[in-house]
Chain A
Amino acid sequence: MAVRSTFPAGLALDAHKQQACGAPIIELSQPPRVTLALDQGSGYDAEPVVTVGDTVAVGTLVARANHLYASALHAPLAGTVVAIGMHEAAVEGGRGVCIVIESDGSGRVDDRVRPVQSAYSLSPEELIQCLRDAGIAGLGGAGFPTATKLVSARAGGTQTLLLNGAECEPWICSDDALMRCAADDVVLGAFLLHRASGAGRCVIAIEDDKPEAIAAVKGAIGRRRADAQRDDDLTLAVVPAMYPQGAERQLITTITGIEIPSGNLPAEAGVICQNVATAAAVARWATLGEPILTRVVTVTGGGVVQPCNVRAPIGTPLSALIAAAGGYRSVPLRLIAGGSMTGRALPSDEVGLTKAMNCVLVATQDDIGSRLGAVESPCIRCGDCSSVCPAGLLPQQLHRAALADAHDALRHLGLRDCIDCGLCDYVCPSQIPLTDRFRDARRRLNAAEATAQKAADARERHELRTRRLQEAATAEQQAFESVRNRARQPGDDSAGGTN
């Protein structure tokens, strides 16, 4: 089934994917040490359950999820916990709390990692709990816990489960490689997620510039139908290659025609979106009993010798991944986690791979250089930004409001609906770093709203206290007066009785 894009705009970008996705996925051996960031991409830390000196095996739980938006973390290798503390990490700010594990080379596997006998017979609730325990999180780049999403889907009565294989961002091709090599895993995972979500139908969406992946997934769906004699209502949708086709809301609009209202969750509109790599991770859990210990990551860019896709343990230092890609070709300009549009610059190549990191872009001057060091000119009101914005916003107006820190205007113009795709930036002839400005404005808006909320709370508490004190004072006054009045009445009962 081929589908037309229906979200407002977007742009066809140079994909830069061919270099990396031609070769099969390289299986990286276990590194001597891993650095596991407690925040695996969702912005929330897991809570460590090991201490320095503890011995762990492959698959041992090292940090548990104590927040709905955090995901459990397991040791990807057997060895000893040598440090828990601040390290350079692939989180905002470049530093975060990490658990460092040194390998003992034994490769001992934790007892709890064993093939699941009955993944199919589990109830949806049990399945969701298992996925939570296995630390399954969105491998497409958000790192959002899959179980939390499934719970909201069940609560909202979801009709459609969307498996996102669009992978629209330039340079990234880890999902493409995974679908080519492990389409059966993707389809098995899709089936389990479909059961867990309670959705009526399941659609796998792939962009039309990935013919091999489309053929592989089509074959896998066919095999599954033939083998299992099941009608899973699993369909494949081929969507046009158009950035940002793979953004959650945009893909939902393309597939279902529904535009998710501002401020609503997709689940509230009856759709949930999961990445195909997440589905493959679910399948690994179902067949091997393995929590997320590894992921497929694209190592690419002009700065590496042989761009490739690597399956590596979570926490592997990026230097090991780059070595697998033949090492550095030249001194890179930037090391970026993610693609060239929405990626985040990394502090060094010693940070550990995270669940949310689908690509390591070793960018040279030629890859991204045109924008670096560019001098920003004034806005010329060309309107190019508005014509490409896939969220239907007016970046030009937003920019004016952001510079003035006009919070009401920013809210009104939909600052929070910006998906950070970076297209307005990309087309701006004046080289204005619009996305950066919006991100910054959003931070300040959030801070201002938090302060206003705290002031409102303080006002309310102060008013309640003032009222309480007044009431207490009035009551005391009344009590005093009633006693005094009684004392002033000479011939009342008690006084007369004793005399």
Chain B
Amino acid sequence: MSSDAIVTAVLVAAALAVTLGVALGWAASRIEPDADSLVERIDALLPQTQCGQCRYPGCRPYAAAIASGAAEIDRCPPGGAATVRALAALLDRSQRPLDPAFGVPKPPQVAWIDEDKCIGCARCLPACPVDAIVGAPRQMHTVITAQCTGCELCLPPCPVDCIELRPVPAVSLRYRQPRAA
């Protein structure tokens, strides 16, 4: 009687395990993980500098590469250690330092054009990933400071080296009363 009960219990448990295992295996092969939403979530953690230091043409392609496993999470110098930490937490991977092969973190910066030296060649315009440079051939160019991400991609095309990167103008973080009426 008691040995029968034990056998029954073991058989039931084994049958359950096999059934559920097959069902889960089938589900895993049939139901695709939602790759797009994972890319979106990774992209949301990236700083959107669009600088390409990770060797991908922008933050979203890098996010897609991380999601597919093609790239590690340590390639984003503008995001720095904080971004690596956030990515590791999201993807449940181990913490790791930034890979220095892809650059080192710098304080926030924006491009600035020395307008006296600018010859209006317009070569920096297509280089800017966020269209933050205003100008036209033979016209002086200038950077929309509020939109510049400090990616440095405008530096190489400039034939007269009139672009430099400057620290971000001190954003006023002064406390204000909630909202005066």
Contacts and interface: CB of A to CB of B under 8 A. Distances in A.
Given A43-B176, A466-B58, A461 B130 contact: yes
Interface stretch (B18-26, B43-51, B157-165): B43-51
A27 interface: no
Contacts of A455: 47-48
Interface residues of A, number: 40
A92 interface: yes
A459 B179 contact: no
Contact of A446 (B60, B147, B173): B173
B50 A42 contact: no
Contacts of B180: 42, 69, 138, 142, 144, 149
A465 B176 contact: no
Contacts of A92: 174-175
A393 interface: no
What is the predominant secondary structure among interface residues of chain A facing chain B? helix
B171 interface: yes
Contact of A461 (B59, B60, B132, B174): B132
Interface in B16-44: 43
A454 B177 CA distance: 23
A31 B80 CA distance: 54
Contacts of A454: 48, 146
Interface in A270-298: 272-273
Contacts of A144: 180-181
A142 B59 CA distance: 43
Interface residues of B, number: 25
B120 interface: no
B107 to A, nearest CB: 13
A110 to B, nearest CB: 29
Interface in A144-163: 144, 149, 152
A272 B180 CA distance: 10
Interface in A320-342: none
B131 interface: yes
Contacts of B47: 455
B135 interface: no
A266 interface: yes
Contact of A442 (B60, B130, B175): B175
Contacts, number: 71
B147 A461 contact: yes
B181 A265 contact: yes
A388 B43 CA distance: 43
A459 B48 contact: yes
B169 interface: no
5 contacts: A142-B180, A266-B181, A442-B175, A464-B131, A466-B58
A116 interface: no
Contacts of A2: none
Interface of B: 43, 47-50, 58-60, 129-132, 146-147, 149, 171, 173-181
Interface string A243-268: 00000100000000000000101110
A458 interface: yes
Given A43-B177, A142-B180, A266-B181, 7 more contacts: A92-B174, A248-B181, A272-B181, A418-B178, A439-B175, A459-B60, A462-B130
Interface string A126-146: 000000000000100010100
A119 B142 CA distance: 49
Interface of A: 42-43, 69, 92-93, 138, 142, 144, 149, 152, 248, 263, 265-267, 272-273, 416-420, 439, 442-443, 446-447, 450, 454-459, 461-466
B130, B171, B178, B180: which has the most chain A beta carbons within 10 Å?
Answer: B180
Contacts of A69: 180
Contacts of B60: 459, 462-463
A270 B55 CA distance: 56
Contacts of A265: 179, 181
Contacts of A443: 173-175
B59 to A, nearest CB: 7
B41 to A, nearest CB: 13
Nearest to A447: B173
A434 to B, nearest CB: 15
Contacts of B48: 454-456, 458-459, 462
Query: Which 7 A-B residue pairs are closest in the complex by CB-CB distance?
Result: A455-B48, A144-B180, A461-B130, A458-B48, A265-B181, A266-B181, A459-B48
Contacts of B181: 144, 149, 152, 248, 265-267, 272-273
A462 B129 contact: yes
A43 B50 contact: no
A419 to B, nearest CB: 7
A483 to B, nearest CB: 24
A419 B178 contact: yes
B98 to A, nearest CB: 19
B149 A447 contact: no
A459 B59 contact: yes
Nearest to A252: B181
A336 to B, nearest CB: 17
Contacts of A456: 48
A457 B147 contact: yes
Contacts of B132: 461
Contacts of A457: 147
Contacts of B178: 416-419
A265 B180 CA distance: 7
Contacts of B50: 458, 462
